[in-house]
Amino acid sequence: MIVSVRGLVKIYEDGTIALNGVDLSVERSEVCIVAGPNGAGKTTLLRIISGELKPTEGEVSVLSLNPARDRARLLRRVGVLPQEYELYEDLTVWEHLYYLAILKGLSLQEARREARRVIELLELEEVTGRLVRSLSGGLKRRVALAQALIGDNELLLLDEPMVGLDPESRRRVARILEDLRGEGVTVIVTTHYLDEIGKFADSVVVLKRGKVVRRAPVDVILGELGYNIKLEVPATRSILGRIPEGVKYAVAEGKLVFWLNEADLVRVLSALDVEAIRSARIERPTLDDAYLELISRGG
């Protein structure tokens, strides 16, 4: 295992329980998505794995090292994109990435080569000579991601790498991560863009209130849903009260999304007023659908 977490608990000084008994194992070359609503503990989990935070309880092993004790050694082998990052804004993009490569322990020649590589990888060639402070938010995010990719990393810890990026840049990042997986790099990524990374991810961990509510391979999670039927129905209290017991559903943008077998379809159509159904379509579920279903459960 590249990452092994057992019984992880993190309680902040104000009494907030961010993580409550989390177990997680991630193998080499695995792309693991960590998903969950805001405040679920995703960022805290990555900060502990990277060694930035110490756990209150539990055991954490990353590349056979203790992150809290061996963080300096660990970061030579791990690339980290935190949710909140600081860039050297008085440096140019080239200077910033070159300097970070040196800090990672690369020789001057290696640092120059790595700076060029990640600039090309994130398509930052046109802004290499600009001061970091002059960049837009999306470009700064790409510089931060480029920084995380510097070096011969065995593990990447990426906290929302696609936030603030335009659609083409998000697709670019997804392709980069898929290629790195093929090269044997392990990736743990938190993201709200589940489907873009879910196309090649191996597993999904869903956190809710600091606990793991689901951990499974992507294909298993999707297979459990079968097909889904999206009904455009106003999610009013009266309609929600008529949904038969045991039927899986979620509310998204004021509409109801059901995951139904044939028998449940008959039950739902019998229970609802047909006149209330504005549209319906049958399709394979997406990872976004699975996520909505998982976090809509009680507990």
Domains of the chain: 3-221 (3.40.50.300), 227-283 (3.30.70)
pLDDT at 230 over 90: no
Nearest by Cα to 174 from 183, 162, 166, 163 = 162
If you average pLDDT over residues 258-269, what whole number do you get?
75
Beta bridge partners of 62: 3, 65
Q: 77 in helix, strand or coil?
A: coil
Is there a contact between 17 and 68 (Cβ–Cβ < 8 Å)?
no
Percent of the chain with pLDDT over 90: 64
| Segment 112-140, tens digit of pLDDT | 999 999 999 999 999 999 999 999 999 99
Give the model's confidence band at 285: pLDDT under 50 very low, under 70 low, under 90 confident, else very high: confident
DSSP string, 215-226: EEEHHHHHHHH-
How far, in Å, CA of 22 to CA of 207, rounded?
9
Q: Which range has the worst mean pLDDT, 62-66, 115-119, 137-141, 292-296?
A: 292-296
Cβ neighbours of residue 75 under 8 Å, at least 6 residues apart? 50, 51, 104
Long-range contacts of 254-259 (CB under 8 A, 24+ apart): 255/230, 255/231, 256/231, 257/228, 257/230, 257/231, 257/289, 257/292, 257/293, 258/228, 258/229, 258/230, 258/231, 259/225, 259/226, 259/227, 259/228, 259/229, 259/285, 259/289, 259/293
If you average pLDDT over residues 216-236, what whole number do you get?
75
Nearest by Cα to 201 from 186, 223, 183 = 186
pLDDT at 274 over 70: no
| Segment 173-205, tens digit of pLDDT | 999 999 999 999 999 999 888 888 988 999 999
| Segment 14-52, tens digit of pLDDT | 999 999 999 999 999 999 999 998 899 999 999 999 999
In eight-state DSSP terms, residue 129 is T
- What does DSSP say about strands 280-283 and 228-231: parallel, antiparallel, or unpaired? antiparallel
How far, in Å, CA of 56 to CA of 20, rounded?
10
